[in-house]
Structure formats: C-alpha cells, structure tokens
A and B are shown apart, each in its own frame.
Chain A
C-alpha cells in the first residue's frame, strides 16, 4: 500500500531557529514529490522534486530528494512567526492511466514563537 509519512508531527521553535522537516514514502510508481504549506485552509505550493540530489531553494526554504532512500527534507532557516503552518508532503503515484493521484502525508505542524 502506498504511503507517505512525515516527521515530526509537530514542532515548536523560536524565531531565528533552523528546522528540518522529514518526509519518507513508499509508492509503487513514483513520479514526483511535492511540498505544500497550509496556513489556514488552502495549501499553497512550495516545491516539486523529481530528481535526487538537486536542491530546490526559495528564500529561506530549501528542499532535496533522495530517491534511493525514499525521503525528502524541507529546511527552513532563520524561522519567522509567519512560517507557522502545517507543512504537507505529497507524492505523485503515476499508477495506471496517469491519473495524477497525489498521496499526502499527515503533515507537520510548525509553530514559531517570537
């Protein structure tokens, strides 16, 4: 059974700290891994990773994929209170018929205290 597991489930840090969020997966027909940030309702897209070892970077956020060990990490440096959110990892299972099915992890709830 396909699954995506994120850790930790929740995390409390102080502003300025660096955090690393983890996502491991078991998917039959892996196509890509995506990270989303969900602050209140709508998840917003952060990164899409398809190749191992190539870091994607956007400001203080960066992410990398290891297709051999089947995991990805999301790093946030110099955290700010505005980074407080649920971070979702999703893996696209190509499956049969290219349905574009995304399998989501449980999410990591990050709280950044002033």
Chain B
C-alpha cells in the first residue's frame, strides 16, 4: 500500500461511452500526476497538478479531461476514446513538485472496444 488508491481497477468501455477514473491520495501531498503505460512503451506523463492547479499538459488529446477538485483527489474523465487508448493509467502523488519521490497507485487497466 502506497497511500494512493485508484478506482476502478479495471474498465472496459466502448468508443462512445463516457467514464471517469478516480485517484485519491492519503499522504497529504500537494502534487498529483496522471501517467499512461502502454505495452512495451515507457511510462508517459499526461498531466501534473500542483495545489489543484494544472501545471503540465503533455500534449494529451482533449478526449482525456482531468479534474482536480482538491489536493487529495484527481479524476480523469474519458469520452469518445479510441482502441489505441487502451493502457494502464497510473496516478501518482508527491509532497510537492520539487519532491522527486512519486508514490504510485495500483493503476486502472482500461480497455477500449
């Protein structure tokens, strides 16, 4: 247990569906991150939030929409996804942006049909 939880752990959705991924951290951290991990590819940073404010959008398509209502919660809203979006989506948090150690959640395995 790293103190970062993600739900759901598995998600199967059609290309026309709308779904949301949820991440919660119980560590009192101020920075939160979304990563995408596809098969045989490095972890890709998607979004960074610091004190609820987005500080990084790594050229992510608009069909992925993040939301950070407070420093403990992070959402990733999904709509009209493509099959190539199927991947493991990992959430992480760190004490602050300059704190190197990021604590990762267990991830959501997403399959887009």
Contact = CB atoms under 8 A, between A and B. Distances in A.
B100 A32 contact: yes
A88 interface: yes
A104 B100 CA distance: 13
A99 B56 contact: yes
B2 A42 contact: yes
Main secondary structure of the interface of A (DSSP, over half): strand
A104 B40 CA distance: 12
Contacts, number: 63
A102 B56 contact: no
Interface size class of A (residues with CB under 8 A): 20 to 34
B48 A101 contact: yes
B6 to A, nearest CB: 9
B94 interface: yes
Contact of A106 (B40, B56, B97, B105): B40
Interface of A: 4, 31-32, 34, 36, 40-45, 48, 88, 90, 92, 97-107
26 contacts: A34-B100, A34-B101, A36-B104, A40-B106, A41-B88, A42-B2, A42-B104, A42-B105, A43-B104, A44-B2, A44-B104, A45-B101, A45-B103, A88-B43, A92-B100, A98-B97, A98-B98, A99-B56, A99-B97, A100-B48, A100-B97, A101-B45, A102-B45, A102-B102, A103-B45, A105-B42
- Give the 3 A-B residue pairs with the shortest CB-CB distance, closest first: A100-B97, A104-B43, A42-B104
